[in-house]
Chains A and B, each alone.
Chain A
C-alpha cells in the first residue's frame, strides 16, 4: 500500500520560497506507471493542480500555467521522494498543499496528509 508523508514549514514570509517534501513508501518515484503531483486547496481557489514529475525513460515535469514561472518540482531518487518549491510567495499562496500519486488510468489514488502553509510576515 502506497503511503505519502509530507513535511515542510507551516509559515513562510512573503517574497520567500515555499518548500514541501513528499516521502514515498510502497512505490518508487522512478515508477514507469505513476506521476507524482502537487495539488493545493484554499477557500478562494478550491482544489488547484500545481504540477507533476514522472519518469518514462527520462524525467519529465508539467506545471500549471498559473504558477509556471515560480514553481519547481524535483524527484529525489536517493530518498524516494519528491519536492515542491514555490518562489516569490504572496498571501494568495496560503493553502493546504497535498502531494498525490497519479497511477496511470487510476487518477489520484494516494494522497499525502496535507500541509497548511501560511504566507504571512
Chain B
C-alpha cells in the first residue's frame, strides 16, 4: 500500500476542470512540500508541480497545485485529450527518511 493516498481514477470532458487529491500524514504532506508527476504510457514520469504549487518552465498554466494540512490537490483546468495520463503525488517523509509516492490516479478524458 502506498504511503500517500490517491483516488485510482478520475475523468472529465474536454474543457472541464478536474481535481486529483493526495492524502498523507504529518510526517510527509503535513510538514513537507508536495510534488506532482504526469506519466504518459511507456514513458518516465514528468515533473508537473513542485514545492506544492510551483510549475516548472514549459508546464501549462492549466495545471495548478495546492496543499492544506495533510492533503494536497492537483487541478487541471480546460481539460484536453492530451492530459489523459497517470498522475502521481510525492513528498519527502521525515519519519521514514524517504521519498514516498501516491498510488497514482488514471485520468480519462471522455
Interface residues of A (CB under 8 A from B): 37, 39, 46-49, 62, 64-65, 98, 102, 105-109, 111-114
Interface-central residue, B43, B44, B90, B101, by most chain A CB under 10 Å: B44
Report the Cα distance A105→B101, complex, angstroms. Answer: 17
Q: How many residues of B contact A (CB 8 A)?
A: 23
The 9 A-B pairs at the shortest CB distance, nearest first, are namely A107-B35, A111-B44, A49-B99, A47-B101, A107-B50, A109-B47, A106-B50, A46-B103, A64-B98
Q: Is the CB of A105 within 8 A of B50?
A: yes
Query: Please, which residues of chain A bring their CB within 8 A of the CB of B33?
Result: 107
Does B104 touch A at the CB level, under 8 Å? yes
Q: Are A106 and B100 CB-contacts (below 8 A) given A46-B2, A47-B88?
A: no
Please list 23 pairs of residues, one from A and one from B, whose beta carbons are closer than 8 Å in the complex, sorted by A's number.
Answer: A37-B99, A39-B99, A46-B2, A46-B102, A46-B103, A46-B104, A47-B45, A47-B88, A47-B90, A47-B101, A47-B104, A49-B98, A62-B97, A62-B98, A65-B98, A98-B45, A105-B50, A107-B33, A107-B35, A107-B50, A108-B35, A112-B44, A114-B44
